[in-house]
């Protein structure tokens, strides 16, 4: 299958399967894979235990680490890879900050975000894996990360709303929202193939494009 994109981002809520799908795509197409480095963030477990106290330092630390990683990896060329696929993009910083910060802290954060955001290369397409909150919670529970046990459906809904707000406020980008509530691309190879065909075999205009699997 010929891939017409140079840079593909797989986005979605916590537990949507972003990393799994991005990794499989990289393996199938010999693409360069960029995975978010979040496990060593010292503020993450603190945030889940006390969000009000640690939300601002958490979001700032993610802003810095995401910029550093994307700037380094996207700034280098790998002639042996067909394209680049990532399991997140820098916009994720603003999406999550909009769910955790308020007032002056959010306004300051938003200003810093857009200064940095405009300096980074933009993906050719953003693929958003859409799943309802009940299934997300089930996926989160199954992977068993201790610091994620306090995540609620309300928090996941706020993140989802923040994603769609960003999409609507930045319509110049190309977004493909794939509703995968009724499929299991991890266990079912046919479901995986359908998602791959949806991403790579169709042409999409800028703005929101929605597909229900």
Q: Which residues are known to be catalytic?
A: 87
Secondary structure (3-state) at 12: strand
How far is it, in rounded angstroms, from Cα 111 to Cα 206?
A: 25
Secondary structure (3-state) at 177: strand
The answer to whether 82 and 124 are in contact (CB under 8 A) is: no
| DSSP bridge partners of 209 | 176
* Residue 83: closest CA among 176, 167, 7, 165: 7
How far is it, in rounded angstroms, from Cα 112 to Cα 166?
A: 16
Give the HSE-up count for residue 156: Cα atoms under 13 Å, Cβ half-sphere. Answer: 22
The answer to whether 169 and 161 are in contact (CB under 8 A) is: no
Strand (E) or helix (H) holding 174: strand 174-179
Phi–psi pair at 42, nearest 5 degrees: -70, -15
Using only C-alpha atoms, the chain has a radius of gyration, in whole angstroms, of 17
């Amino acid at each position: 299958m010929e891939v017409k994109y140079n840079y593909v981002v797989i986005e979605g809520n916590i537990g949507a399967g972003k990393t799994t799908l991005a990794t499989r795509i990289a393996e199938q197409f010999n693409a360069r894979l960029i995975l978010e480095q979040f496990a060593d963030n010292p503020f993450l477990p603190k945030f889940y235990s006390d969000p009000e106290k640690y939300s601002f330092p958490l979001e700032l630390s993610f802003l810095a680490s995401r910029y550093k990683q994307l700037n380094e990896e996207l700034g280098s060329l790998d002639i042996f890879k067909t394209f680049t696929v990532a399991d997140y993009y820098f916009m994720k910083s603003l999406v999550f900050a909009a769910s955790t910060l308020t007032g002056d802290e959010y306004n300051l954060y938003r200003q810093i975000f857009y200064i940095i955001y405009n300096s980074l290369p933009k993906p050719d397409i953003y693929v958003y894996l859409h799943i309802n909150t009940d299934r997300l919670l089930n996926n989160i529970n199954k992977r068993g990360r201790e610091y994620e046990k306090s995540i609620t459906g309300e928090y996941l809904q706020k993140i989802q709303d923040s994603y769609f707000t960003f999409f609507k406020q930045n319509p110049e980008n190309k977004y493909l929202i794939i509703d995968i509530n009724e499929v299991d691309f991890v266990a079912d190879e046919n479901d995986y193939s359908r998602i791959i065909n949806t991403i790579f075999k169709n042409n999409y205009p800028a703005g929101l494009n929605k597909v229900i699997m």
